[in-house]
Amino acid sequence: MAERLTVAQFDLVILGGGSGGYACALRAAQLGKNVALIESGKLGGTCLHRGCIPTKALLHSGEIADSAREASTFGVNAQFLSMDMVAVNAYKDGVISKLHKGLQGLVKSRNITFVEGHGRLVSKDTVEVNGERYTGTNVVLATGSYAKSLPGLEIDGIRVMTSDHATNLTYVPKSVIVLGGGVIGCEFASVWKSFGAEVTIIEGLSHLVALEDESSSKQLERAYRKRGINFELGVRFKSHTVTADGVTVELEDGKTFSADVLLVAVGRGPVSANLGYEEQGITMDRGYVIVDDKCRTNVPGIWAVGDLIPTLQLAHVGFGEGILVAEEICGLSPRPINYDGVPRVTYSEPEVASVGLTTAQAKERGHDVVELNYDLAGNGKAQILRTAGSIKLVSQKNGPVLGIHMVGARVGELLAEAQLIFNWEATADDVAPLIHAHPTLSEAMGEAHMALAGKPLHAHG
């Protein structure tokens, strides 16, 4: 005789407690809905435990190591001796743990039913976990993504690893090969170089961070060359051999590279296999759940958010989509997300940050494009920080700013203003009169718009 299953009824049953899932849960609960949030790992998901937060903590340790190396430039007697990875990991894990506890408290305080366990969609409105059934008027799929590898490239977590392993390394390798020059690859390359490793990036496309405006990629490449980070562009991985003391990689052009470890950072794929999605008739494409502009799947009452759907794989996109779904379910009719207006940052040294369209995209979409490059050399704070880089504006001729692309230390912080400019469709004339505090990096944003408006201050033109 089949075992009787308990059934609990909710307004929303959310499968996956990462950025997308928990944001949806928090907003829906705030709007008075009865919510179950199901998570097989840790609340907070990839971003908190294996992604954004640990990598940014490692990058910050790296920044301090670099500051120690460069201390004499600023008249400070200090010396870089070595990395203490036990202490680095304790610092990083402390940050994660504090945020994790805070999030657990938040979920509890909103009376969300948090269910620990592996869930599976067993009907159009029900998820089964640990032999119990959770039925929702709405089901939100938020199972996220995993680090992909290439055929034949087996991840052993020791010599050949993904970011999951790299965020918890207990030593600094002498040398590293980073396969993939996208955001994650470039961030780890930056971390390891700062920690003292010899780093080589292998990228099949013709640029690092190839989704960025080409000018940003070129500036990052220049900066990496200066830092002594090696890279091979436009050439693909062929094979690898793991030996007792390292790993050797052969490329399709015949070149070989050897290092202590190989980080595979070739992208992330959706977590959707064997979860019952296809069986319930949900439209999928290469494992991604397909949704409309309100994150609705083709099955009424089933929604999907975050890395599971083919939108930008960013934590704040997951937050936005989770909130969108909660508000749509609650009848608030939120506006669909304009994905062009999502801010993007590669938190390497230097940082690469952007919002809106690249020059190539703006032209493809038929805009009459004008460009303005403001070199950070003219910015007082950039000189104080000793950082190089620029702010590039892509604008419609006599129209709104279509894209803002930045390279330099701390430019990620400038996105707050950049995204307002883009999303409020401001023109250079709107921004030019706004007074920016001196001396800040944000002044460069003001100066760039002044120059585009035809009245440059600290720039030739």
Ligand X SMILES: Cc1cc2nc3c(=O)[nH]c(=O)nc-3n(C[C@H](O)[C@H](O)[C@H](O)COP(=O)(O)OP(=O)(O)OC[C@H]3O[C@@H](n4cnc5c(N)ncnc54)[C@H](O)[C@@H]3O)c2cc1C
Binding site for ligand X (CB under 6 A): 15-21, 38-41, 45-47, 50-52, 55-56, 118-119, 142-145, 163, 184, 271, 275, 306-308, 313-316, 318, 347
CB nearer to ligand X: give 61 or 143: 143
CB nearer to ligand X: give 51 or 456: 51
**Which among 316, 438, 449, 460 is annotated as catalytic?**
438
**What's the closest the beta carbon of residue 424 comes to ligand X, in angstroms?**
22
**What's the alpha-carbon Rg for the chain, to the nearest Å?**
24
E strand or H helix that includes residue 47: helix 45-49
**What's the closest the beta carbon of residue 374 comes to ligand X, in angstroms?**
25
**What's the closest the beta carbon of residue 331 comes to ligand X, in angstroms?**
24
CA distance linking residue 39 with residue 47, whole number of Å: 14
Contact between residue 188 and residue 166 where contact means Cβ atoms under 8 Å apart:
yes
CA distance linking residue 406 with residue 447, whole number of Å: 13
Taking CA atoms, 227 is separated from 70, 132, 198, 352, in Å, by 12, 54, 11, 15
CB nearer to ligand X: give 309 or 431: 309
CB nearer to ligand X: give 163 or 442: 163
331 Rama class: left (phi>0) / alpha (psi -120 to 50) / beta:
left
Question: Is 438 annotated as catalytic?
Answer: yes
Largest Cα–Cα separation, the chain: 83
CB nearer to ligand X: give 55 or 359: 55
Taking CA atoms, 207 is separated from 162, 178, 363, in Å, by 21, 14, 20
Q: Which residues contact 431 (CB under 8 A, 6 or more apart)?
A: 401, 421, 445, 446, 449, 453
Q: How many CB atoms lie within 10 A of CB 99?
A: 15
CB nearer to ligand X: give 16 or 456: 16
CB nearer to ligand X: give 100 or 436: 100
What does the chain come to in residues? 461
**What's the closest the beta carbon of residue 453 comes to ligand X, in angstroms?**
32
Contact between residue 39 and residue 116 where contact means Cβ atoms under 8 Å apart:
yes
CB nearer to ligand X: give 269 or 318: 318
**What's the closest the beta carbon of residue 217 comes to ligand X, in angstroms?**
18
Contact between residue 427 and residue 401 where contact means Cβ atoms under 8 Å apart:
yes
**What's the closest the beta carbon of residue 254 comes to ligand X, in angstroms?**
31
CA distance linking residue 337 with residue 344, whole number of Å: 15
**What's the closest the beta carbon of residue 55 comes to ligand X, in angstroms?**
5
CA distance linking residue 35 with residue 12, whole number of Å: 5
**What's the closest the beta carbon of residue 193 comes to ligand X, in angstroms?**
17
DSSP 16: -
b/e per residue 159-182 (b: at least 16 CB within 10 A) = bbbbbbbbbbbeebbebbbbbbbb
The catalytic residue positions are 438
